[in-house]
Amino acid sequence: MTNSAEQLPGRAMLHPEMVAAEDNQAMYRDGHRLDHAEGASKPLRSRPEPQPRGAKIHGNRPIDQAEAAARFIASPEHEKMHDERLWDLRQKRDREMHHIPEWEQLRSLASAIKEHTLTHLDEYLDQFEAHARANGIHVHWARDAAEHNRIVHGILSDHSAKSLIKSKSMLTEECGFRHYMASVGIEVIETDLGERIQQLDKEDPSHVVVPAVHKLRTDVAKVFADTIGTDPENSDVHYLAEAQREATRPLILAADAGMTGGNFVVAETGTFVVCTNEGNADLSANVPKLHIASIGIEKIIPRLEHLAVFVRLLSRSALGSPMTQYTSHFRGPRAGGEMHVVLVDNGRSERLGLEEFWTSLKCIRCGACMNTCPVYRRSGGLSYGATYSGPIGLIIDPTFNARKYSNLPFASSLNGSCTNVCPVKINIHEQIYAWRRELVKRHDVPLVKKAAMKAAGELLSRPAAYRAAIASADVALAHLPRFVIYNGLNAWGKHREVPHPPKQTFHSWYKANRGGTQ
């Protein structure tokens, strides 16, 4: 694998398959391929293969992440594409980072601003509400998912709205919003391409930024053939995307209301900010007269000048592009329109009180920790069986349901790469370990996992040794989590280094983990 960190912007290889014949915008003026907006910097090819599905959900029983991961790994085309695609995003992130001399300073600022805001959260929410109201925004507060859904339903009922176009929002996933709306007879249309694919396939998003990243083009062709009537034999990506555009546009024009999330909320101006690449949030917000934004209370920052820090970090960390194509600031309703903001707690205020875990609220949902995580890349987001997957999921899912997600904090090699890439400097791997300890205390965690805990605990308590242990992790990550096996942090870390191809090392990690032996 070449190291694209050394490549100049836009100098990735142009591959003819990757651009539509007439789309010369997909090419830089020197003929090189563009790779903004999640575009891969190299062609990824895969052969058709049935899509492995996510974790099996049995009520409140602990999710068996390893079981679902096994099925993902047993689908080599999916596993390979997923792994390469996300690693490509990670490398593009590195490339961007190297272009910004103040990168580390920005991360420290972002972390400090978030920590300041979270420790004064009540004051800033109060400020936001006052300013937003003064600008004509209706502000609502929801304690939990159920209240959020009821409030939105109430607003829609007041306007006799029967259809809602919306942009991607992890918060509404958290709230089970689409299910609720279906139960009250309101049609919800997702407008983000990836999210729409997932909605039509009746599957949850597998990644916070690229919701259908676990699907091959042939999977999408099948979903679209079954739902919007495309040619089942045609899996050309341009054809599929265009068919979706054509199918969704009339729904956008006819919708009674629009909904977005919010990436950032600015207290001093009463503004909320939405970042997308497709412009679908702006369609959702600006075509219907009614705009509802559902926003988690932790998204707030004090002032506009702070926004610059986060906007500079977000897309670079997420996709390795300097900015999302659209970064939209909503400060009040448009002429003749109506705007509502629903501020949602849903466990956040409680999380704020958890001494070891409150800083997880700094998260800006960039997905960088997922893209870099060897376990995530190899097992797919749906294997976690939770709204949030990957490293960030491991540390926030248990706050929603400690029993159901009790296995998740063990789906990590504790290699620390997530912590290294996190733009707001959350100590993710340390929190993963802290959750293990917590869950062992509170729940019946299998013996083998308890042993893993002990080894990790010893190493984590000696920072210098730990740093040395993870020093080479980044290199190993490029291919496989060799480190996963050899770092001695894990139950499956009892192996000795033996020369075998990377693929095998992962599988042996996997087998050991899965089987709970060694």
Partner 1 sequence: MTSRDDILESIRASLPRVDRPLPHVPMFDEDPPASLLSAFKDSLERMGGIFLDPPASGDVLAPVRVKVASAKVVCSTVPEIAGNRDIATVSATQELADVDFAIVRASFAVAETGSVLLSETDLNINALAYLAQHLIVLLDPADIVVNLHHAYRRPEFRERHYASFHTGPSATADIEGVLIHGAQGVRSLSVLPIARIYQPQPTSPQEKKHD
Interface positions with ligand SF4 (CB under 6 A): 363-369, 392, 421-424, 426, 428
Specify whether the CB–CB gap between 390 and 409 falls below 8 A.
no
Q: How far is the CB of 365 from ligand SF4 (least distance, A)?
A: 5
The window from 55-63, 318-326, 403-411, 414-422 that contacts partner 1 (CB under 8 A) reads 318-326
Closer Cβ to ligand SF4, 363 or 456, answer by number: 363
What tokens does 115 get? 């920590």
Which option in partner 1, ligand SF4, none does residue 186 bind, with CB closer than 5 to 8 A by kind? none
Cα gap 223→196, rounded to integer Å: 10
Name the nearest CA neighbour of 36 among 371, 368, 311, 322.
322
Cα gap 95→3, rounded to integer Å: 9
Q: How far is the CB of 481 from partner 1 (least distance, A)?
A: 22
In the range 268-297, which residues lie near partner 1 by CB under 8 A?
269, 271, 277-280, 282-283, 285-288, 297
- Residue 500 makes CB contacts below 8 A (sequence gap 6+) with 508
Specify whether the CB–CB gap between 195 and 209 falls below 8 A.
no
Q: How far is the CB of 435 from ligand SF4 (least distance, A)?
A: 14
Which option in ligand SF4, partner 1, none does residue 364 bind, with CB closer than 5 to 8 A by kind? ligand SF4
The one-letter code for the residue type at 358 is W
Which contiguous run of DSSP H or E holds residue 373? none
The window from 152-160, 181-189, 233-241, 488-496 that contacts partner 1 (CB under 8 A) reads 233-241
Which option in ligand SF4, partner 1, none does residue 212 bind, with CB closer than 5 to 8 A by kind? partner 1
Question: Does 394 sit near partner 1 (CB under 8 A)?
Answer: no
Residue burial 481-516, b: 16+ Cβ < 10 Å; e: rest: bbbbbbbebbbbbebeeeeeeeeebbbbbbebbbee
In the range 10-49, which residues lie near partner 1 by CB under 8 A?
10, 18-20, 23, 25-26, 28-29, 34-40, 44, 46
Q: How far is the CB of 227 from ligand SF4 (least distance, A)?
A: 30
Closer Cβ to partner 1, 209 or 408, answer by number: 209
Closer Cβ to partner 1, 63 or 142, answer by number: 142
Q: How far is the CB of 133 from ligand SF4 (least distance, A)?
A: 30
Which option in partner 1, ligand SF4, none does residue 121 bind, with CB closer than 5 to 8 A by kind? partner 1
Which option in partner 1, ligand SF4, none does residue 363 bind, with CB closer than 5 to 8 A by kind? ligand SF4
What tokens does 289 get? 């007269």
Q: How far is the CB of 445 from partner 1 (least distance, A)?
A: 26
Which phi and psi angles does 164 have, rounded to 5°? -135, 125
What is the CA angle 380-386-390, rounded to 5?
A: 45
- Residue 466 makes CB contacts below 8 A (sequence gap 6+) with 416, 459, 460
Closer Cβ to partner 1, 349 or 518, answer by number: 349
Question: Does 323 sit near partner 1 (CB under 8 A)?
Answer: yes
Question: Does 161 sit near partner 1 (CB under 8 A)?
Answer: no
Specify whether the CB–CB gap between 93 and 69 falls below 8 A.
no
What is the CA angle 324-327-332, rounded to 5?
A: 165
Among 163, 327, 420, 518, binds partner 1 (CB under 8 A): 327
Which phi and psi angles does 55 have, rounded to 5°? -60, 145
Looking up tokens 């900015």 gives 323
